[in-house]
């Protein structure tokens, strides 16, 4: 059985570093809910952070200058197959969506990211996976 988030010490979301105001925009959603935002520079960073900290979901930028988002998710899946992932992309074509589906990505969101859509997807994810409405 998956523990309810109220039974956990903290809620952590890991995301890709971005050359735009992405982390600050996420903090605007997360801070009022008491959610910790961790930022990874590259694929190795993702793995190191996940290994050392309880992560509840990842938000991976497909178009990051530092690492390919699908490669990051493939690496995460090798050791952490059940960790929920949300993928952000500029090009949500059929091929990418098929690859994301094969990697069991929870959601693919077009960029520029509509923060209300992201919050809705996070809400769906946390209700389904953790029985928590922290993002409602």
Mean pLDDT by 10 residues, the chain (136 residues): 57 86 87 93 92 96 80 94 95 92 96 93 96 92
> Where do we find the tokens 């690492």?
67
Q: What is the pLDDT of residue 79?
A: 92
How high is the pLDDT of residue 66?
67
pLDDT value for 78? 94
For residue 130, give the 3-state DSSP assignment. helix
State the pLDDT at residue 19: 67
In angstroms, the CA 19 to CA 17 distance is: 7
Q: Domain residue spans in the chain?
A: 34-129
- Give pLDDT, residue 7: 52
Contacts 24+ apart (CB under 8 A), 33-36: 33/134, 33/135, 34/10, 34/134, 35/11, 35/134, 36/10, 36/11, 36/12
* Termini Cα distance of the chain: 22
Q: Does domain 34-129 have CATH number 3.40.50.2300?
A: yes
pLDDT at position 1 is 44
């Amino acid at each position: 059985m998956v523990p309810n988030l109220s039974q956990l010490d903290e809620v952590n979301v890991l995301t890709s570093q971005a050359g735009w105001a992405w982390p600050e925009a996420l903090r605007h959603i997360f801070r009022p809910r008491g959610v910790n935002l961790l930022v990874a520079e590259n694929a190795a960073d993702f793995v190191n952070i996940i290994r050392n900290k309880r992560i509840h979901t990842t938000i991976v930028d497909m178009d990051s200058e530092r690492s390919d988002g699908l490669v990051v998710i493939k690496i995460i899946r090798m050791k952490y197959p059940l960790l929920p992932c949300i993928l952000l992309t500029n090009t949500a074509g059929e091929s990418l969506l098929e690859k994301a589906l094969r990697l069991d990505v929870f959601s693919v969101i077009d960029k520029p990211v509509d923060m209300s859509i992201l919050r809705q997807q996070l809400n769906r994810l946390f209700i389904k996976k953790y029985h928590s409405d922290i993002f409602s």
